[in-house]
Amino acid sequence: MTGKDKEEGCVFCNRLICDEREHFVLYRGQHWYLLLNLYPYNSGHILLISNRHQPMLGDCTPEELAEMGILLKVMENSLTEVFRPDGINCGYNGGQSAGAGIPNHLHLHMLPRWAGDTNFMSTIGETRVMPQTLDQSYETLLPVVQRLTAGL
């Protein structure tokens, strides 16, 4: 598939069963899975993705919300251990008007941030500065995520 080809179906549903390494899947839970964002703002940009189509947090069951909280903590701890950031951004866009690129499939973003990082480059220079490839980020995050999710 070239950069101009559009993937058929929902990209997040298509990742429910896939080659995990090829698609940068870090963990699969009962209700959610973790994978690296293919278009990251910074190295280590992780997505927490629902295993089912649902557009908003209000559509989650209590069990889904409980697992989400546990996995958000795993994401934060993993990013902190691997990247030693000065801060963390976490959020989601609820609905297309809020900027959700895939508005019918709930997903949350978490990424490390540093004082003086290159966030302005995307806006002003239409360029992203990535000190690591996705493969490198995956290889450094995977063992930490595996350790932190052991027994979940």
| Cβ atoms within 10 Å, residue 64 | 20
- Residue 48's identity, in one-letter code, is L
Pick the catalytic residue from 31, 53, 105, 107.
107
CA 98 to chain centre: 18
| DSSP category for residue 102 | S
Q: What are the DSSP calls for 62-112, one per residue? A: HHHHHHHHHHHHHHHHHHHHHH--SEEEEE---SGGGT-SSTTB-EEEEEE
Tell me how far apart the alpha carbons of residues 124 and 38 are, in angstroms, rounded to a whole number: 21
107 catalytic, yes or no?
yes
| DSSP category for residue 111 | E
Active-site residues, by number, are 107
